[in-house]
Amino acid sequence: MSCAMELTAPHQIQPREYSKGGGTDGAWHGASRFSTSTCVWTPRVQVLGKGLPLGNLTSQLLVNIYMNEFDHFVKHKLKAKYYIRYADDFVLLSREKQHLEQTLRYIEVFLRDKLKLELHPNKVSIQTFASGVDFLGWVHFPDHWVLRTTTKRRMLRRTQGLQKEDASVRSYLGMLKHGNAHMLENKIGQN
């Protein structure tokens, strides 16, 4: 069983002091000049007001600093054996569905009370690993992974009419080498 989740920040998040983090409060202080009203944690959530540009190195750093406390909570308090997080997306694996359901409740409370975040209601799922875990643009199966359908459509649309030498096409081809997407590699640049 796996549980895939994504966070949203529907409100203003103020930088917090981190005295335990080995100097990370200095990073928050410096980052406050980039975003004084909102931190945006996911590209699929529209947040009004100022925010950090997605893909910006600063936002990548800040999400890891901010989520450090969550990582410690999941690993040390909840004792999650199989936990993977990349920015605002994370996956928990367990053999028992009830364990994931209980863990999900603890996670929701921690995120709401400690970090002022909430899980995106449409992006939390508990499913068997055999049915595929949708994580970071790929659907992961026990023995292989395939590109998510929406990612595939977007890639084909953006590369339509481009030559194989184009930087965008080369970037997609590099990404496709990491999964079971050999037939897709041939489609790029042909449509």
DSSP state at residue 128: -
From 148, 149, 146, 125, select the one nearest 137 (Cα to Cα).
Answer: 148
pLDDT in tens, 61-98: 888 888 899 999 999 999 999 899 988 888 988 888 99
Residue found by looking up tokens 């990548």 in the block: 60
Specify the pLDDT at position 186: 80
pTM value is 0.66
Specify the pLDDT at position 38: 32
Cross-strand partners of 91 = 4, 84
With a cut of 90, say whether residue 182 has pLDDT above it. Answer: no
Residue 145: band (very low, low, confident or very high) from pLDDT cuts 50, 70, 90: confident
Specify the pLDDT at position 190: 62
**Phi, psi angle pair for 164, to nearest 5°:** -60, -25
Specify the pLDDT at position 7: 53
What's the rounded mean pLDDT across residues 6-23?
Answer: 46
| Highest mean pLDDT, choosing among 74-78, 155-159, 185-189 | 74-78
Specify the pLDDT at position 64: 85
84 or 48, greater pLDDT: 84
- What's the rounded Cα separation, in Å, for the pair 57 and 61? 6
With a cut of 80, say whether residue 49 has pLDDT above it. Answer: no
pLDDT in tens, 102-136: 999 999 999 989 988 888 888 888 888 888 888 88
DSSP state at residue 48: -
| End-to-end Cα spacing for the chain | 38
Per-chain mean pLDDT for the chain = 74
